[in-house]
Amino acid sequence: MYLYLEQKRIVILTTNKYFELSDQMRFQPPPAEDEHAPLLEGAENIPMYSCDDSIKFCSVAGVILQAKVPAFEKMLWRVFCRNVFVHVKPLEIPFEDAEYNTPVQKAVFIIFFQGESLKNKIYIICEGFKATIYDSPDNMSERGEMLSTIKTDMQDLQIVLGGTSDFHHRLLLVGAKNLRMWNMKVLKAKSIYCTLNMFRVMSASLIAQCWIPVCKMELVTSALVRGTERSGGSMPPVITRLNTCETPPTYNSVNKYTEVFQALVDSYGFARYGEINPAPFSIVTFPFLFAVMFGDVGHGLLMLFAGICFQMTEERVQWVKMGEVMKLLFHGRYLIILMGLFSVYTG
């Protein structure tokens, strides 16, 4: 709306100079020239005179993309020959395009013609070039009143837009305080619904088959009972052990210290159920072999310092959105610390 009013104001200011001498004007066409000559060459020198009502000229004014001006002028020239007079003034300030939300260069045009019969054709051509037509009164006093109205509307609109922007800013500040909590709630809800998709619905109950570590049975049972009590359920959960011939999946208990070493071992392959997990041994062997190939005190101290920095800021950094490389370095912070220590020792 603000762009619409601003463009309308510019159109009225541009058309003012064509009507300040007389409300009724006509032009004398220039002498015939070569048809390949530039369109409307010397249009600023075309004389205009006042005339009687029988040859009163009408006008259409609006805004069009500056890139479409040559084709627009040529189309008017081909359709109306010398029966219309077109004046185009490029705008220095770019306007935001409503369709693509990008700044574009526009131009103001005003078309003079004689007779109402040509107006419909001009409107059709303007619509084809996606030009915006604005009403511009022929009377100077009416144009002055319209400019005053537009100025008042723009001031009111600026006040409304400023208040809306301040409200959005305050709303975002309030939302930023709860953003971490909202993210956690969304992640929990997403994981709950993903888990519910694995259940089978049988009348009024949900049935699922899963593998549970024996050491976690009491924890799972207490969690289900606690969830039933909090939700107000009348039926307690039932956990039944089933006999199966299938090989259980491998479960390796990890924490934030051993997670990176387990991921390093899993990148080469997963151990079968009942096999020894080599991840605890890699806590010593991998940094040692790295130090054998990279035994340098200076570079080792740099790695040690980087790992300690990641470890000391993990409470703040773990909630920050990071790139792929920084995320990899952050998750391997304890591995980097050990590699730095072994490199300093070997160096």
- Give the pLDDT confidence score for residue 185 in this predicted structure: 94
Distance CA 108, CA 87 (A): 8
Backbone angles phi, psi at 123, to 5 degrees: -60, -40
Number of domains in the chain: 3
Ranges of H-type helices in the chain: 2-19, 69-80, 119-128, 140-177, 179-196, 217-231, 259-266, 279-293, 297-312, 314-317, 324-331, 333-346
125 lies in which domain range? 2-28+37-138
For residue 171, being part of any structural domain is answered with no
Distance CA 2, CA 23 (A): 29
- Give the pLDDT confidence score for residue 48 in this predicted structure: 45
Distance CA 90, CA 107 (A): 4
Which ranges of the chain have pLDDT less than 70? 1-4, 16-56, 97-100, 138-139, 319
pLDDT tens digits, 235-294: 888 888 888 888 888 888 888 888 889 988 888 888 888 888 888 898 889 989 988 888
For residue 167, being part of any structural domain is answered with no
Q: What is the pTM of this model?
A: 0.45
Task: Tell me the Ramachandran region of residue 207: left when phi exceeds 0, alpha when psi lies from -120 to 50, beta otherwise.
Answer: beta
- Of 102, 122, 138, the one marking the end of a domain is 138
For residue 180, being part of any structural domain is answered with no
